[in-house]
Structure formats: C-alpha cells, structure tokens
Structure 1
Amino acid sequence: MATNINEKISAPGNGSGNGTGNGNGNGTGNGNGGTGAETAVKERVQVDLTAGGNKKLPKGFTFGALIVCWLLTYGLFRFGFKAESAVGALVVGYLIFLVVMRFVSHSVEGRRAGKDRMAGIIITSAFVIAVVPLISLLWAVVQNAVPVLNYSFLNNSMVGMSEAGSRPGLGHAIVGTLTITGTTAIIAIPLGIMTAIYLVEYYRGGWFGKIVTFLVDIMTGIPSIVAGLFAAAFVGMVAPWTGHRNGLMGAIALVVLMTPIVVRNTEEMLRIVPDELREASYALGVTKSRTIIKVVLRTALPGIVSGCVIALARVIGESAPLMITASSPDGFNYSLINGPVMTLPVFVYSMFQRGMMDYAWGGAFVLVIIVLILNLIARFIAKVFAPKTR
C-alpha cells in the first residue's frame, strides 16, 4: 500500500491549473495541482482500506446457501447414514454453512467485509435461536388450549366436576389471580417506588441507606418458596383469626418477591434522569419534593411502568408460594381473608396432577393472555404520560 501512495504523490496533479502535483508550478496552477494529487491519494487510500469493498455477494446468497446446506445434510442423514435425526441434520448443516460462508465471503468480499458478514450471520442466528422457542411455546399453548376454550370454561368453577353433564372451568382461578395480584401491586409498587426514590434522591451515604440496599440485594434472589413460608408465618402471627390459608398470605408472599424488582428497576430509571433537569428545577425555586414528582418521576415514568409490569408478570406466574399460602380450592372465593383462594398457576399444576391436560393448557393460555393485556396497558400508560417533545 505504501508504494502505491508514494507513486501517487510524485505523479503530476490533475487540477484545473497548469502546475504539477509536487508543487513546481506557479500561481493558481500550483495550488490546484496539489489539490489534484491529494484527492488521488485519498481515493487510493480509501480503496486500499476497503480492499474488495466493491465486490458483494448477490442478495439472497446467504439464505440460499443455508437452505442448500440443510437440504444436502438432510439427504445425507436420511439416505446415507440412515439416520432420522432432523435436529442433527439441522445442526450439522448449519456448521457446514458457517464454514462455506467463511471461505466464500472472504474470497469474494475481502477479509474486512467477510468478517463483517460472518458477525452478522452469527448475531442473526442467535436472535433466531432465542425467538424460535418462544414462538413454539406460544403455538403449543394456543393449539392445546383451543379445544376447551368456551364461555363455561372461563366462567364456571371445578365444583361438581364429577357429576354427569357438568361443565367445569377456571373462573374461580381467574378471580383469585386478579384479586391476589391486584392486592400485590397495590402494596408492592408504591413501596418499591418510594424506596427507590429514597435511595437515589435522599440517600447520602448513611448507614440506613446501606442497610436498605443490602436487604434489597438479598431479597432479589430469595427463593419463592421461602417467601411463601415467611408470608404464612407473618400473617399467622399478625392476624391469626384469618385462618391457616387465605389469599392475604399469598399476596404478602408475592409482595416479598415483587418489591425488590420494582426497587431495582425504578432506581436505575431514576439514575438515568440527567442532573441538569434537577438543577434547572432547583434554580427556579421549585422544592425538592415537587421536583421529584413533576420532573424526575415524569421523565422516568415509561421505564418505571415497564419495570412494574415486568415484576408483576414475574410474580403472577408463581405457584410454589401460593400453594403454601392460598391453597387450591375448587370453588369461588372473593375474600382475601376468609378461606383458601385458587390462582391460575396453581390451577395449571392441579389439573396436570389430575391428568386433565386440556384444562391445564387452557389455564396456561388464559395466564398468557392476562400477561399480554398487562403489557398493552403498561405501554399505553407509558405513552400517555411520557414527556412531550416538540
């Protein structure tokens, strides 16, 4: 590359004047000639740095090569090795595809462009590997739940399911899930947000803030079954008149699991808010509490809402603590403190234990729909209350 550049520098310039590229001309030609030589050098350097950059593989070549490798490998497995492993053929075909693309892209497009193409292939493959199981899961849930989805299934309970002509359902589990998770959100979300505000806006290195941070870190990784045991012991000690198992115990268990997630997410969102916004508000004479409410929280609201929904979606699918605290009755119970309450995760597990797989898939489908609705509501709230930009 150095030889080519030197040759270009010593060559005559191609400027509009009469001077030469090495600066021996006079007047205007001298300057223009130098400009021509510099332009030629820059173009040469750009071509050298992007060696092979003008050569590109045809569009669709990558996808076509992948299909060909898969078909050849599948034929080799089926007719050559007499193996019926479709997954093995896919894996081996993909590895062969990577080797082929490595040599083809480097030969045609050059080393730099070839590395870039290989990086894109690997990243795209990782995305597909992550998405395919999710799509397969949703498809399996929908496919297996369709046979039992009807009005009676969504409205009835499991009481009298052994009687002739009965139409059992999971209505009691839907009511219990909404009741317990609603109570959990009412307690955990304000508690978590206010704790995060203290840690970000008021905590100045004191011992109490360090203790709170330490406890939040511990609670984030606490096993759900331990939260259930704690809730059963706590409610039994504070309100023994509520009975051995009830919905309030289940809500307290979910609060223990949800609060640290809300704290951590809200804390991160508040730290993202620029300090310049706070300082501008203080400069206008606005109090700290009003600055937090009107400036900081308003700016961080979309992220806070998303984090709260993620935390709620995580606890709404918990079954272990609810089996200990809320139990698994067959009928409706609209009270949190008067007797056991059924929830959808426990319903799915109970139906699986009884061998009623259609009902288990139906419960899973309803649970997924509830989580989807929560996400849509969160997106709407975040969009409505997000800071307006001109």
Structure 2
Amino acid sequence: MSHAVVSGPKAAPPSPGPRRSLNSRSLPRWAPLGFAAVSVLLGVGISLAAGWESRVQWGLVSALLFVLVSYVVTSAVENRRQAKDRLATSLVWVCFILAVIPLLSLIWVTVSRGVKALDGYFLTHSMAGVPGFEAGGGVYHAIVGTLEQVGIATLVSVPIGLLTAVYLVEYGKGALAKAVTFFVDVMTGIPSIVAGLFLLSIMLMFDLQPSGLMGALALAILMIPVVVRSTEEMLKLVPNELREASLALGVPKWRTIVKVVIPTALGGITTGVMLAIARIAGETAPIMLLVFGTQLINANPFDGAQSSLPFYIWEQYRVGSEASYDRAWAAALVLIAFVMILNLVARGIARWKAPQTGR
C-alpha cells in the first residue's frame, strides 16, 4: 500500500537584503590628484603670505600639506584604516618626487647648457693650440683617454673580481674567506683619493712617470670590490639543484662552475660589471694625481700624460670664461650619455640572458 506524500506550497525564498560593504563611502580615483592640486595652491599661498621666495620652500610646504590633507579627508570620508593606508601611499609618493626632482633638474641643466657647444667639431677635435678662454676646441682627446683608462681598468678588475667571487661562493670557508669578505667590504667604501695616493706612492718609489696606465690601475682598485660584491650576489642566486644535477652526472666541480653556474648568472654579472664601469667613469681625483691631463691627443696609455672627461670638465671650469663653461657643460653631457648608454646596455644584456621561466 503506497502512501502519497502531500507537499504543501513551498515557502518563497527570502528576498536578498541590501548588500553590506566594509565601507559605505569611498573617495573617487582622482582624489589624489585633487589633494595634490589643493596642496600646491595652499602651499604657494602660505609661502607667499609668509614672504618666502624660494621654490624649494614652496615645494616642501606643499608636500607636507599633501600628506596632511590626504589623511584628514580620508579619515572624514572613509575610515581610519583607509586613512592610514592613504598616509603611507602619500609618503611614498612624496619621497619619490623628492628623489626624482634633483635628478631631473640636473639632467635639464646639463642638457640645456651642454648643447650650446656640443657638435661634430667638438667631438672630433682636441684643445691643442686653443687658449682656454677662447671659443673652439673639442673633447676628443678626453674621450680617447676615458675609453682607454676605463677599458684597461675593466680588463684588470673583471677577472680578479669574478674569480674572487667564485672563490667566496663555491670554495670559501673558514678564516680566509671571512678575511677576504671583510677587506672587500672595506674597499667598497674606500675614497678614490686614497687609491690615487696609493698608486702615487708607488710611482714615487719606482720613479715612474704619469700615464693613463697608472690612472687605470687606480680605477681598477675602485672597481674590483663592486665587481666582487655584485658577482657574489648573482652566484648565490643560482639554484643549488643545478650544481647538484651536474655533479651527479660526474662533472668536475670546476667544469660545473664554468659551464653551469657562471652562464646561469651571466646576465646579472654583466649588469654588475657595467654598473662598476659607470661608477669609475666619473672619477677625477686619481686622474689628477696620476695622469696629469694634457691638451693633446695621446692614444698611448703607457707613455705620457693623458686627459679624461672628468678631468677635462674640471680643467675647463677652472678657466672661468664663458667659452670654457660651455665646453665643461658639453663634456658633462657627453659623460652622462656615456654612463646612460652603459646602463642601457647592462639592462639589455640582463634581459637577454635572464633565465626563461615560461614553458
């Protein structure tokens, strides 16, 4: 006997109530721009009312007002939690702008004043026979000196720095490795004038003459710790699984380092070398002590005085004439372009040699 189940009408599902959110009110996306505009207007107005004529003071007052306005308005409209987040974001933006403004100002001044004398003639002629206070002359001899001195310093420092980093990462243990690490850290912060004085004492002891080689050796002393530190960090990033897999196949350790470890970290190593070159390209003190500078083109770095871009800038600025100032700014622009090209090359090589993570 079957029993029929009689079901009554189904109850209607409860209607969804209004959605609740953690914050019923929120500022629009353009709120930070509005805060910035209001802060600038208030900062300029307060500065003018106080009689401050410096634009630096205007900017600092506006930055403080931007942080304050962002926090107060966000607290009133949203909540304390969002206000703290907005405060941290505002501080990050203010610090970023304060760091970028001097850089942009330096680039703007250098470009605007350097283009006055920068042309093909300036890049292909030296200062031979040109009085410093008169217009004319060029920077070719300084470019040649910089390229040769930086090139020799690179040839000396890169093998030493690379092998030292390999020793510290792959073999270094005990007191010797700790001592090497300590001296590398000390050399990282050594002033350039100290390296110049060290080579100058050697020159005086052995009665050596000023030359581009001596300046390059001083630059190599400054470059070695940068190469060691950057290469060491890149080698540490190589996964140990790669080393273990190579060693498990019976490959000797030295061959594993040459064929596996160094090629894997080659992109980062190249970037560190390029940054080290950019660091020494603007050094002036060792060149003043060891190379002496010259107005003539000297393509032999092993005999006689040479010039360089940093020395040429100092030399022209010391003359004090309008023409020499233009040449100094033009040479500074050439030096900045040289360093910028090195950084772009380093980034390109790092991206090219970066390990592929995709399938």
TM-score of the superposed pair, with normalisation by structure 1: 0.82
Aligned residue in 1 for 2:43: 73
Aligned residue in 2 for 1:290: 255
Contact 2:185 2:225 in 1 (8 A): yes
Contact 1:299 1:387 in 2 (8 A): yes
| Unmatched segments (≥5 aa) in structure 2 | 1-9
**1:173 positional shift:** 0.1
Pick aligned residue for 1:169 from 117, 120, 138: 138
Contact 2:126 2:295 in 1 (8 A): yes
Pick aligned residue for 2:227 from 258, 262, 265: 262
- Deviations along 1:64-92, one digit per CA (max 9) or x if unpaired, are 122122213323433x3444333323322
Aligned residue in 1 for 2:183: 215
Aligned residue in 2 for 1:88: 57
**1:252 positional shift:** 0.6
Q: Which has the larger radius of gyration?
A: 1
* Structure-1 separation of matches of 2:132 and 2:225: 46
Contact 2:25 2:78 in 1 (8 A): yes
- Specify whether residues 106 and 330 from structure 1 end up closer, same or farther in structure 2 by C-alpha distance, changes over 3 A only: same
Percent same amino acid at aligned positions?
45
Which amino acid is the alignment partner of residue 77 of structure 1? S
Which amino acid is the alignment partner of residue 353 of structure 2? F
Contact 2:132 2:319 in 1 (8 A): no
Aligned residue in 1 for 2:198: 230
Aligned residue in 2 for 1:315: 280
- Specify whether residues 63 and 305 from structure 1 end up closer, same or farther in structure 2 by C-alpha distance, changes over 3 A only: same
* Structure-2 separation of matches of 1:163 and 1:217: 42
SS in 2 for 1:321: helix
Aligned residue in 2 for 1:29: none
Aligned Cα RMSD in Å? Answer: 2.5
Pick aligned residue for 2:147 from 178, 183, 194: 178
* Structure-2 separation of matches of 1:298 and 1:388: 13
Contact 2:132 2:316 in 1 (8 A): no
- Deviations along 1:303-335, one digit per CA (max 9) or x if unpaired, are 211111111111110000110001111111011
* Structure-1 separation of matches of 2:197 and 2:226: 20
- Determine if the alignment matches structure 1 residue 276 to structure 2 residue 241: yes
Pick aligned residue for 1:251 from 186, 194, 216: 216
* Structure-1 separation of matches of 2:52 and 2:150: 50
**1:373 positional shift:** 1.5
- Deviations along 1:247-288, one digit per CA (max 9) or x if unpaired, are 111011001110011111111111122212211221122221
TM-score of the superposed pair, with normalisation by structure 2: 0.88
Contact 2:113 2:329 in 1 (8 A): yes
* Structure-2 separation of matches of 1:252 and 1:171: 22
- RCO higher in structure (CA 8 A, sep ≥6): 2
